[in-house]
Amino acid sequence: KRFAIFASGSGSNAETIWQAIERGDLSGECVLLVTDKPEAKVLERADAYHIPSFSFTPKAYVSKRDFEEEILVLLQALRVDYIVLAGYMRLIGDVLLEAYPSHIINIHPSLLPAFPGKDAIGQALDASVDVSGVTIHYVDAGMDTGPIIAQREVDITGCDRQEATRRIQAAEHALYPYVLHEVFNQQEVFK
């Protein structure tokens, strides 16, 4: 399958996906990186892996519909099958949801439906839970609400923020390339 990664930040998940492709562990072709943050570190990482990128400034558009329509033209020109969100800090709108039904995937750093939205790791720490984790799910119009594909628990008992983040990100980096391989190759993925 051909896919695009959407990211807004550092891009550590994007990088593990590109590494998995290079190793031959993930059969799929990443044909584009899309970012809504022209200064994001993920752009440097994309260059290092020779992934073409499109960066845009949402404020330069009248509405979400306008920038999603522009992105959709690119995705269709590149014959993209799947959109993979990796720290894309924006809700996907109707234009892309309608063009890619059940073909947009997100990763979230909690065991959904617990702790949706921003700073899921901080939310878990504030709630003093011993176990949090990672969820990979299909994207719908809600905030972190779509059908769950896979989850992995992470023990964060007694962790400070830095250690909880380290453990959860390590779980993300192990799980995302594996699950994407399964989804792209239409095998069963169990929770």
Residues that bind ligand GRF (CB under 6 A): 7, 9-14, 86-87, 107-109, 172
68 burial level (CB within 10 Å; 0-12, 13-18, 19+): buried
Does 133 show up as a binding residue in the annotation?
Answer: no
91 annotated binding-site participant: yes
Cβ closest to ligand GRF, residue 103 vs residue 108: 108
Smallest distance, ligand GRF to C-beta of residue 121, A: 8
The annotation status of 71 as a binding-site residue, yes or no, is no
Nearest residue (CB) to ligand GRF, 100 versus 176: 176
Q: Is there a binding annotation on residue 89? A: yes
d(CA 70, CA 178): 30
Amino acid in the structure at residue 112: L
Task: Specify whether 108 is catalytic.
Answer: yes
Nearest by Cα to 31 from 77, 68, 97 = 77
d(CA 148, CA 150): 6
Given the residues 108, 137, 173, 181, select the one marked as catalytic: 108
Nearer to ligand GRF, 22 or 66 (CB): 22
State the minimum distance, in angstroms, from the CB of residue 154 to ligand GRF.
12
Omega before residue 109 within 30° of 0, cis: no
Q: Considering only CA atoms, which of 54, 143, 68 is closest in space to residue 100?
A: 68
Q: Edge-to-edge strands of the sheet including 104-108?
A: 53-55, 29-35, 2-7, 82-85, 104-108, 131-138, 148-155
Consult the annotation and say whether 83 binds a ligand: no
Closer of 108 and 181 to ligand GRF (Cβ): 108
Known binding-site residue numbers for (6R)-10-formyltetrahydrofolate: 65, 89-92, 106
**Annotated binding residues, as ranges?**
11-13, 65, 89-92, 106
Catalytic annotation, residues: 108
